Chain A
């Protein structure tokens, strides 16, 4: 199992207002390994530090101390300028509020990560259409976000997260803004991606119910991992 570790976080700490008397430590030394092909949920209450951990795992933020290795790359040593390219190649984000680019249709939104990766236009378009078909959005690929429902937006966001075939998909409360029926649909897509394509998915949620759907549950509270549960 140790050979196919995709992501390894060792003693990750994150503090704000470093060096001042009001220094606040959010993460108190997180140790977490995620293997290729795993579907892990990180569950915790609001303010537990799960989003801070996701930001560090997603290379959107840097840890104050500790070591973070992603696909063999020591992220803590990577220069700031290289972080965009690392995110682009290795990570696909799905946000609670979808974060689709307004005024830009679904297909252009899905093409965006490929555009930043320098994929030629024709190839980008072909791949974007495939991905939108995969999430059942081929009928609405030329619609802008304000013409889509919440569930449709999230499906476009999942297609976008898959654009560069990343090593890992980080989904931050992906059903948080959806009704239960639509949320179910979105979760089914994640399960399909995991089961059929072997995608590594990290689901950040405060819902124990959703977390229970994933084979591995990491519970975080007050900046510490307090429990880990693996399904047989």
Chain B
């Protein structure tokens, strides 16, 4: 019976192709909008998630915050906000086995390195030994800093492969930079660095735009070297890497409790220490982005409702036009339920065909948009199922009333209809 109804519905759609297409257009636009938005939303969520994960899923950031952001802070207060190297030592000892690295960084400024006609923009960053693990930085050649370099504050540096490319062209070799000395101009002050290692430069997703030449890469120097250079040994925050198998969210709570206790005297009543797991941030970010995608998709779904009203309108017209046919079918013994099923099937098929076309158009638009926004397109399979289901539901919902009207027609009135 369903097969026959589908056949009849397709015949009717075929007989009024243009009208059926225009009716479908509302559904096509609605479904395409929902699918495109969900594809872009998914692509963005996954892109940002991957980017955040690249910062380390096991990482926990610790920092001191004022309790009341509106309060005015004195210079003395800022001194209180610091985390001391001693505190970090204590933390490392207390959580031995649970922590695999502690990373601290300090900026020594931004500058340029010039080699013949080439120029490289750099950010000079002083780092602790744990920095490379916490930030998943991979060496392409050379070595990391040794203990001695950290303790003595040597002017050794680890640069990006991009840095070498900027100075020596795409055909650079690691030997062009390894063991070589470069002069960095930081606001007309000069710092000499000797390159001991080259790391793999990672472009940070869509966030990094602009020409290749102007990209600023990080030059890492030992933390103490940076401190010596800037005469400032302030640590406002640090990153702790939870050891393999440790739950970073649970560990962040333990660290917070421990540091609150250890730093009770310095924090006083104006500050508190927070330990925030990247995992929590990723989860919260994903949740927020998903909510945003859903909210925008719901706005797009309004187009689907409007499309549904179009279906209802056309079904009403179609039923009026076919009143005599309905009368004949009733005379031939069609039960009310079958008349109703016939017209609901027609509405569902219109919506389903519209839905499928909408999915294809939506996927196409979503993929193109995600691509141009710099994200890897991620199709939301759930949105496809949802759209198909929603299209069918619209067919049933908006087809029901006209179909019911058809089913309830008095056969004699329907047969007499001109």
Interface residues of A (CB under 8 A from B): 55, 58, 60-61, 81, 84-85, 87-89, 93, 95, 99-104, 112-113, 115-117, 160, 164
Q: Which of A58, A88, A101 contacts B328 (CB 8 A)?
A: A101
Q: How many residues of B contact A (CB 8 A)?
A: 23
Q: Which of B11, B327, B412 contacts A103 (CB 8 A)?
A: B11
Whole-angstrom distance between the alpha carbons of A13 and B412 in the complex?
17
Chain A residues with CB below 8 A from B12, complex form: 103
Chain B residues with CB below 8 A from A84, complex form: 330, 333-336
Q: Which of A101, A103, A116 contacts B335 (CB 8 A)?
A: A116
Whole-angstrom distance between the alpha carbons of A104 and B12 in the complex?
10
Are B332 and A160 neighbours in the complex by a CB distance under 8 Å? Answer: yes
Q: Which of A55, A61, A95, A104 contacts B11 (CB 8 A)?
A: A104
Chain B residues with CB below 8 A from A115, complex form: 1, 4
Known: A99-B324, A116-B338. A58 touches B333 (CB 8 A): no
B325 within 8 Å of A by Cβ?
yes
Which residue from chain A places its CB closest to the CB of B333 in the assembled complex?
A: A88
A28 CB to nearest B CB, Å: 20
Are B331 and A103 neighbours in the complex by a CB distance under 8 Å? Answer: no
Which residue from chain A places its CB closest to the CB of B5 in the assembled complex?
A: A115
Are A60 and B332 neighbours in the complex by a CB distance under 8 Å? Answer: no
Whole-angstrom distance between the alpha carbons of A104 and B5 in the complex?
12
Whole-angstrom distance between the alpha carbons of A115 and B338 in the complex?
10
B235 within 8 Å of A by Cβ?
no
Whole-angstrom distance between the alpha carbons of A88 and B327 in the complex?
13
Are B415 and A85 neighbours in the complex by a CB distance under 8 Å? Answer: no
Known: A112-B329, A113-B332, A116-B332. A60 touches B11 (CB 8 A): no
A-B contact pairs, 27 of them (CB 8 A): A58-B331, A60-B330, A60-B331, A60-B412, A60-B415, A61-B412, A81-B336, A84-B333, A84-B336, A85-B335, A87-B331, A88-B333, A93-B332, A95-B415, A99-B331, A101-B329, A102-B15, A103-B11, A103-B12, A104-B8, A112-B329, A113-B333, A116-B329, A116-B332, A116-B334, A116-B338, A117-B333
Which residue from chain A places its CB closest to the CB of B322 in the assembled complex?
A: A102
Residue picked from B4, B325, B332, B411, most chain A C-beta under 10 Å: B332
Which residue from chain B places its CB closest to the CB of A157 in the assembled complex?
A: B328
A70 CB to nearest B CB, Å: 14
Are B333 and A89 neighbours in the complex by a CB distance under 8 Å? Answer: yes
Chain B residues with CB below 8 A from A87, complex form: 330-333
Whole-angstrom distance between the alpha carbons of A117 and B333 in the complex?
8
Whole-angstrom distance between the alpha carbons of A115 and B332 in the complex?
10
Given pairs A55-B412, A103-B14, 20 additional interface contacts (CB within 8 A) = A60-B331, A60-B411, A60-B412, A84-B330, A84-B335, A84-B336, A85-B333, A88-B334, A95-B328, A95-B415, A99-B328, A99-B331, A99-B415, A101-B329, A102-B15, A103-B12, A103-B15, A104-B8, A104-B11, A116-B338
Chain A residues with CB below 8 A from B412, complex form: 55, 60-61
Are A112 and B335 neighbours in the complex by a CB distance under 8 Å? Answer: no
Q: Which 5 pairs from chain A and chain B are nearest by CB?
A: A88-B333, A99-B328, A116-B333, A84-B335, A113-B332
Chain B residues with CB below 8 A from A89, complex form: 333
B58 CB to nearest A CB, Å: 64
Whole-angstrom distance between the alpha carbons of A60 and B328 in the complex?
10
Chain A residues with CB below 8 A from B334, complex form: 84, 88, 116
Are B332 and A88 neighbours in the complex by a CB distance under 8 Å? Answer: yes
Chain A residues with CB below 8 A from B324, complex form: 99
Interface residues of B in 293-344 (CB under 8 A from A): 324-325, 327-336, 338
Chain A residues with CB below 8 A from B1, complex form: 115
Which residue from chain B places its CB closest to the CB of A55 in the assembled complex?
A: B412
B91 CB to nearest A CB, Å: 79
Chain B residues with CB below 8 A from A60, complex form: 330-331, 411-412, 415
Which residue from chain A places its CB closest to the CB of B3 in the assembled complex?
A: A121
Known: A81-B336, A104-B11. A93 touches B331 (CB 8 A): yes
Whole-angstrom distance between the alpha carbons of A104 and B332 in the complex?
15
A189 CB to nearest B CB, Å: 19
Whole-angstrom distance between the alpha carbons of A60 and B415 in the complex?
10
A12 CB to nearest B CB, Å: 15
Chain A residues with CB below 8 A from B329, complex form: 101, 112, 116
Whole-angstrom distance between the alpha carbons of A19 and B325 in the complex?
32
Chain B residues with CB below 8 A from A99, complex form: 324, 327-328, 331, 415
Whole-angstrom distance between the alpha carbons of A93 and B411 in the complex?
13
Whole-angstrom distance between the alpha carbons of A84 and B324 in the complex?
16
Which residue from chain B places its CB closest to the CB of A86 in the assembled complex?
A: B333
Which residue from chain B places its CB closest to the CB of A163 in the assembled complex?
A: B332
B325 CB to nearest A CB, Å: 6
Interface residues of B in 4-18 (CB under 8 A from A): 4, 8, 11-12, 14-15
B352 CB to nearest A CB, Å: 20
Which residue from chain A places its CB closest to the CB of B4 in the assembled complex?
A: A115
Chain A residues with CB below 8 A from B330, complex form: 60, 84, 87
Whole-angstrom distance between the alpha carbons of A99 and B326 in the complex?
10
A95 CB to nearest B CB, Å: 8
Whole-angstrom distance between the alpha carbons of A81 and B407 in the complex?
11
